[in-house]
A and B are shown apart, each in its own frame.
Chain A
Amino acid sequence: MLSRVADSIYWMARYVERAENLSRLLLSTQDLLLDAGAEGVDEAQFWQPLLATTGDEEAYSKLHKKIKGKDVVEFLALRADNPNSMLNSIRAARENARTVRDQISDEIWESLNSLRLFVESAEGKTTHRMQSAAFYERVLRGSYQFQGIADSTTPRGEIWHFLRLGTCLERADKMSRLLDTCSGLSLELPPHAQARPLRWAALLRSCSAWHAFQAQHRRLDPSRIIAYLLLDETFPRSIACCVAEAQAALQSLCDDAGLQGMPAPLRHVGRLRADLAYTTVEEVLATGLHEYIDDLQSRLNQIGEAIFQTFVQHSEVSQLPEEAPVESTASGAYHAHADEDLQVQQQQQQQ
């Protein structure tokens, strides 16, 4: 498979997952606010963590002085000038799909194309204005549909492994940011048995873990929640599970490519998986949740970089014997800000 194609498939999956996470986050924050509203709290403290999760605090502060729900929602959902907005994530997923249309099933392509047509349509914008929950649910369904179709139409070869890698690494990254937003919260349960730790409950909801967690642990004990989302390999959105899946995908890719020994991506992902398996939540808390996650994020980035180096840049793939190494190339995947000169030249060719 072409290196650029691998890169685009990886990013296609990442952007779908990004849009999905954002939808769920917006939904659960709105719900949380409804619950908390009665308690009369400052709404900025509910919206600020969202900006932290997407890493867009700085970009937001350039546009708005104050953190207001309406502005944050608009910024994260539909703003065309926010490269990480849901709109742009869906566009980028779809553009990447377009560049690899010949490689993926028609059904995958149509599902992403339909989703993008919806979010850009007048109907989509009206839905978002009048009934934002219905809009987010549509995006969530679009992502589930994409994953279901991908699962049932993609042969279990390179394309599939790059798809899984993109999904798992994005999911792990977003989960780590989500956990980080709770790192400042008290780990003590509220004094009354009836009182619910709203933020912790919202955390579970924002990653679809509410029911799964409740089935395993009756009480919403914050340190149990952290352990579940970080270290429990049985829950599909936990970081441990994502890393385990990424490891399996990378193992297959390295085997297929005939890479000898222990290539960098496998080394990094294997070490991280072992660490997650042999770490207790008490140790995490002793290090400090924020500090632990900081380190985790840089290790996830290291894995992403190693994948790019190995499969796109060919730093380890065997070269023609008599030749110098292949010079490096930029990522060929579509991102919101592409090279304008390139676009103009691409447009000029026609007959």
Chain B
Amino acid sequence: MSSLFNDYQPESFFDEVFSKSGKARPHYEAMLDSVGSLTPSEYSARQKAVDAAFLRQGVTFTVYGDDQGTERIFPFDLMPRIIPQREWETVEAGLIQRITALNLFLDDIYHGQKIIADKAVPSELVLSASHYRPEFRGIKVPHGIYIHICGTDLVRDGKGDYYVLEDNGRCPSGASYMLENRNAMKRAFPGLLQQLPVRPVDAYGSMLRETLAHLAPSSVLDPVIVVLTPGIYNSAYFEHCYLAKQMGVPIVEGRDLIIRNDRVFMRTTKGLEQVHVIYRRIDDDFLDPLVFRKDSLLGVPGIINAYRKGHVALANSIGTGVADDKAVYALVPKMIKYYLDQDPILPNVTTHLGVDPKECSYILDNLDKLVVKAVNESGGYGMLMGPHASKKERSEFGERIRKNPRNYIAQPVLQLSRHPVFVDDHFEGRHIDLRPYVLCGDRVRVVPGGLTRVALKKGSLVVNSSQGGGSKDTWVLWDDPLTMPAEPTPAA
């Protein structure tokens, strides 16, 4: 076996590459042979070449905190995470089932609210979610789809079982890194990708475009699609631009758009041009100062009315955040049962709701064993890692929970699976998760693989880029290249 892995310790965790006995899992064998033929300095030279290329190309995100945002490359670890076909097929089926239920739930919540009338879920919990938009009830959205682009976070526990951690049905980010990571791998390990039946991801741009085009008013033959970005100061601006380029559509800011007769137009050098579909990467709150936050400088006054009248489509729709609420998350298995009459293929992580008095006191009694999360936060913010927190942090957090129990949930600390990551001149195990991208158009499609995020800090369980996380390329490895599903052709 490779000398690079001789001293590698899977320890007591579920390791993606090595079994408990230290033997390589079969789907990693070919890759270990190939990586194993490299010396540490050869391997690290490839890593450095990729990092330099990312910096030069500006494949970066912005970290704020001090006065001037600093641009960093999203740390990338060269050794890919591999998912074998059989595992992937389960994950894919689970994701499709879940998004289907979530969209049915949203359509129901914004129309008849049958699930509440039938008492399958508690009414006050759903309707008190801060991202629930009562003003949007009764509005018909194209094809009844609310979440068109979803970036579900999956984790594996100590036994290697997959769980859904979060659904991210608002404006999930990271797809551009998935695509750029694959490009980097093609340069760093061309032979390996040629030799192995790895499912390609580069059709994401054209799939996204098709998904968006599907939403356009049916009278429009050749819809004008745009990506609406908050602007260059947003940490994900690179991604907005990248996806626009992949799809071959303009990237616009709110100030580029104007409403006339409840229709949306963009200001061009040749006058006004009508826009039919908007992939918006701006939160609901900022989208329209006439309806939501009045102080928004990013939005387009009147855009919500244009949407209500059906002259423009928005992806994702308004108010999907209600399904993202971490307390509502706990109800998803019930939604799957209620709407589809199925058991969830991908289970939830056990979740204790602060709003339930019994569970709340359990949370408060066990703060040192639990992860506590604010229900509306994302990006690793508003979170208490009980076992790693100081006594003071725990008691402060406890106070916050007591003040506003609806705003918190708690989960057991999962021993996330680990993957070898190159550190200095050798490999060490680090915890990872997986964010696959699900697209909902005329049918539901899941991009094979997704973004594997890595908690680069030794022992850390937090994978978010804002908290010292990095990423890996994710390979869905097919058993037989001849049976690989046909991928749509990549966008221009």
Interface contact A256-B270, CB-CB below 8 Å: yes
Whether B56 pairs with A349 at a CB distance below 8 angstroms is: no
Name 11 extra pairs, CB < 8 A, besides A4-B252, A349-B281.
A1-B269, A2-B267, A3-B256, A110-B56, A110-B57, A312-B269, A326-B258, A326-B267, A347-B64, A349-B171, A351-B168
Q: Report the separation of the CA atoms of residues A99 and B255 in the bound assembly, to the nearest whole angstrom.
A: 13
**What are 27 of the A-B contact pairs (CB < 8 Å)?**
A1-B270, A2-B252, A4-B252, A102-B251, A110-B58, A113-B56, A113-B57, A117-B55, A257-B271, A311-B269, A314-B267, A317-B269, A317-B271, A320-B261, A334-B232, A342-B298, A343-B233, A345-B286, A346-B232, A346-B298, A349-B281, A349-B282, A349-B283, A349-B298, A350-B171, A351-B151, A351-B378
Flag A320-348 by CB within 8 Å of B: 1 or 0 each: 10110010010010100011011101111
For residues 251 through 280 of chain B, which have their beta carbon under 8 Å from a beta carbon of chain A?
A: 251-253, 255-256, 258, 260-261, 266-272
A320: chain B residues within 8 A (beta carbon): 260-261, 272
Q: Are B271 and A109 in contact (CB under 8 A)?
A: no
Contact status of A3 and B268, CB under 8 A, knowing A95-B232, A102-B241: yes
Which single member of B57, B69, B173, B297 contacts A339 (CB below 8 Å)?
B297
Within 8 A of B (CB), among A101-117: 101-102, 106, 109-110, 113-114, 117
B75 to chain A, nearest CB (A): 18
Contact partner of B297 (CB less than 8 A), chosen from A4, A102, A345, is A345
- Chain B residues closer than 8 Å to A317, beta-carbon distance: 269-271
Given A345-B230, A346-B231, A314 and B271 touching (CB < 8 A)? Answer: yes
Contact: B271 with A319, CB < 8 Å?
A: yes
Nearest-neighbour CB distance to chain B for A311, whole angstroms, equals 5
Which residues 88-103 of A sit at the B interface, judged by CB distance below 8 A? 95, 98-99, 101-102
B220 to chain A, nearest CB (A): 17
With contacts A1-B268, A2-B267, A311-B269 taken as known, whether A98 is within 8 angstroms of B234 at the C-beta atoms is no
How many chain A residues touch B (Cβ–Cβ < 8 Å)?
47
Per-position 1/0 for A237-270, Cβ under 8 A of B: 0000000000000000100111000000000000
Judge if B156 is at the interface, Cβ distance under 8 Å. Answer: no
Which residues of chain B have a CB within 8 Å of any CB of chain A?
Answer: 55-58, 62, 64, 69, 151, 168, 170-173, 230-237, 241, 244-245, 250-253, 255-256, 258, 260-261, 266-272, 281-283, 286, 296-298, 378-379
Interface residues of A in 143-184 (CB under 8 A from B): 158
A110-B56, A319-B272, A323-B260 as given contacts; A347 in contact with B234, CB under 8 Å:
yes
Contact A351 B170 (CB under 8 A): yes
Which B residues touch A339, using CB under 8 A?
Answer: 297
